[in-house]
Amino acid sequence: MRWGLIGASTIAEQFMIGAIRATGGTVAGIVSTTEARAADFARAQGIPAHGTALSLLLEDPTIGAVYISSTNEKHHAQALAAIRAGKHVLCEKPLAMTVAEASEMVRAADAAGLTFATNHHLRCSGSHRAIRDLIARGRIGRVLSLRLFHAVHLPASLQGWRIKDASAGGGVIPDITVHDADVARFLLGEDPLTVVAQMSASGMGQGVEDSAMSVWTMPSGAMVQSHESFTHPFAGSGLEVHGTEGSIFARGVMTQRPLGEIELVTGQGREAVPYPQHDLYAQGLTDFLAATEGRGQPAATGWDGVASLAVALAVRTAAQTGTRQTVDIPRAA
């Protein structure tokens, strides 16, 4: 696959370019909003073409797919343009600023017969897939609760739009709560019905929240507790799933790398759970490429991205209003 990159971003630089090349792809071009930045990025990453106009990528018939990792408010227009040009789309989370915009993007790709995926990397990890497998095989019985703890310390290099620009989609809820929503949906196989929430600015956020806590009700009756933050240097991340016959404790697994430990505790005792240590983003790309060739679905589809955004925005509204919010998730036609 020949890829066009939209957005000269940190995630592209640190993870996605390597993953594209590791999965046999070619990064054919990069588009940024500023010429100098595009040129620097292309030079540093060995990308042959660069520019500021989307047409550089969209009018190149040899480019089959675009990876969108610009700031969040740009995803909608860029994805629609790419779909109009007949390109498959791998889009960063959150897909858009609103659920309506995100749905429009995914509907457009569906109508055009193009693959559209959301880059929710956690469901691509061996650890999360092993946890889902334990739950599906009934190792912990009926799930009673899921606890997601995803309070991290945002590196200084990323303390820009994320902590101060609401119009670019800043705030921890669009940044991390969307991931946690996807993890809950992936592990439990059901969508939150309602949410209650609180949020705060605890030292980093300037006009946007940098911390959030929420509780979600699931159709099965399971309860989900979710905590996201940019301001916690030493909290560590992880998740716990508690069931009638056992509990799963996973530490350090809410990461971009194949790290962390999983322990299963049942009436038979404690056991460490092994899992495959593959690259999360390369796995997502492998699933994406298969989908473009008509084999299966991407790891996280466009509709998964719509759903995670719907949950996250319900959390924010619940926190803003102090009221319980119903999660309204649009579906494929």
User: Least distance to ligand NDP from the beta carbon of 260, Å?
Assistant: 15
Q: Of 33-41, 100-108, 193-201, 208-216, which segment contacts ligand NDP by CB under 6 A?
A: 33-41
Cβ partners under 8 Å of residue 240, min gap 6: 146, 147, 247, 248, 249, 250
Q: Does 287 bind ligand NDP (CB under 6 A)?
A: no
Count CA atoms closer than 13 A to 289's CA, side-chain side. 17
Q: Does 37 bind ligand NDP (CB under 6 A)?
A: yes
DSSP class of residue 94 equals S
Strand partners, 67: 5, 90
User: Least distance to ligand NDP from the beta carbon of 141, Å?
Assistant: 32
Give the angle 315-321-323 at the CA atoms, nearest 5°: 75
Q: Does 72 bind ligand NDP (CB under 6 A)?
A: yes
Are 161 and 73 within 8 A, CB to CB?
no
- The residue within the footprint of ligand NDP, chosen from 25, 69, 304, 314 (CB under 6 A), is 69
Three-class DSSP category at 290: helix
Looking at the Cβ atoms of 64 and 169, the one nearer to ligand NDP is: 169
> Mask of contacts with ligand NDP, 218-237, x by CB under 6 A?
--------------------
Q: Does 10 bind ligand NDP (CB under 6 A)?
A: yes
Q: Does 11 bind ligand NDP (CB under 6 A)?
A: yes
Task: In whole angstroms, give the CA distance from residue 228 to residue 199.
Answer: 9
Which residues of this chain interact with ligand NDP, rule CB under 6 A? 7-11, 32-34, 37, 69-72, 92-93, 119, 121, 158, 160, 175, 256
